[in-house]
Amino acid sequence: MTMPTSHCPWRMQVHHIQQETPDVWTLSLLCHDHYPYRAGQYALVSINQRADTLRAYSLSSTPGVSEYIQLTVRRIEDGVGSGWLTQQVRRGDYLWLSDAQGHFTCDNEASDKVLLLAAGCGVTPIMSMRRWLAKYRPACDVQTIVNVRSPQDLIFAREWSHYAVTRVAEHDVTPGFIAGRLSEALLQQVPDLAQRTVFCCGPAPYMDWAEATLRRFGVTRFLREQFFTPPVAASADVERLMFSKRSPATTFSAPRGNSLLQAMESNGVPVIAACREGVCGCCKTQVLAGDYRVTSTQTLSERELAEGYVLACSCQPQSDLVLA
């Protein structure tokens, strides 16, 4: 059982756990109070009996449709949150969640033409929206394209059979899948493309490419998922480290034990972050001086590592740091 925090006041019990793919599980939770949320939103989860460890996960269930509050989580190697949720949490355990958060939701969009784009685990909020649109906006023209590494990695595979969806796989393609990745050619096959509201979720490079391409094709309404995990305030007697940033010139401090990402976010220093598990690479930051340790170097090249680049979410400062 995790601990309640100021960020995570909602206690929920694990009713059952279902494996979706070789490395993805859905946790179905019972909340004994009404838990308000909207299709596509996410929640913070208090991790492993530590009130100072929070992780953000999309709510893959759909309000007014799903029986349970659901989190669908991909296990990341050495991932503190995903490893605990998928390997140690059991039926009957209690989790503490935050209020539902985020503006990545479809219930306030008036468009009668929608395009849903998802890659990998980005399918979780997209499925939440797809159910919501089918239930509450049945006349809406919904086009969906889902990208996966291989057919066995398609999350909610059985449920997707209820909806019209274009399935794209990079490897081991089977009938019902198109080989490759999301492409301009696939997007141009979507009818009335420029008139659609687009909802996109997946790795940051995938979303960046999709947005740039679709805007060139005339799309004006493009919404993408963004998480924010608030830093935990430290007590006054906690040792603090100093950070100097050269561009733009600024200095700030943060408690020892915070990740570099937490230090930057808590001081309003601009940084882009998505997965927060050292996978997507979008929080890449260059450290010019100081001591630190890292838990992930995925997406970083040998040259970038030599030049001091780190993934801010996976960087634990051991001394004062100077940042580019």
The pLDDT score that the predictor gives to residue 221 is: 94
Q: Which CATH architecture has domain 113-224?
A: 3-Layer(aba) Sandwich (3.40)
pTM score over 0.85: no
Q: Which of 51-60, 65-74, 225-234 has the lowest mean pLDDT?
A: 225-234
In the prediction, which pLDDT does 230 show?
A: 55
The second-level CATH assignment, the architecture, of 240-323 is Roll (3.10)
- Phi-psi bin for 294: left (phi > 0), alpha (psi -120 to 50), beta? beta
Domain ranges of the chain: 10-97, 113-224, 240-323
CATH architecture of 10-97: Beta Barrel (2.40)
The CA distances from residue 264 to 32, 173, 227, in Å, are 37, 42, 15
77-119 pLDDT, tens digit each: 878 888 999 999 999 999 999 899 888 999 998 889 999 999 9
What per-residue string of b and e applies to 241-274 under the rule 16 or more CB within 10 Å gives b?
Answer: bebebeeeeeebebbeebbbbbbbbbeebebebb
State the DSSP code for 266.
H
Q: What is the pLDDT, as a whole number, of residue 76?
A: 86
Q: Are 113-224 and 240-323 equal in CATH topology? A: no
pLDDT band at 56 (very low <50, low <70, confident <90, very high): confident
What phi-psi label fits residue 253: left (phi over 0), alpha (psi between -120 and 50 degrees) or beta? beta
- Residue 254's DSSP bridge partners are 241
Per-residue burial over 154-165, b = 16 or more CB atoms within 10 Å of its CB, e = otherwise: bbbbeebeeeeb
Q: Any idea which of 47-51, 140-144, 317-321 has the lowest mean pLDDT? A: 47-51
Count Cα atoms within 13 angstroms, Cβ side, for 250: 9
Query: For residues 148 and 167, is the Cβ–Cβ distance under 8 A?
Result: yes
Kindly state the tokens that stand for 155: 């999350």
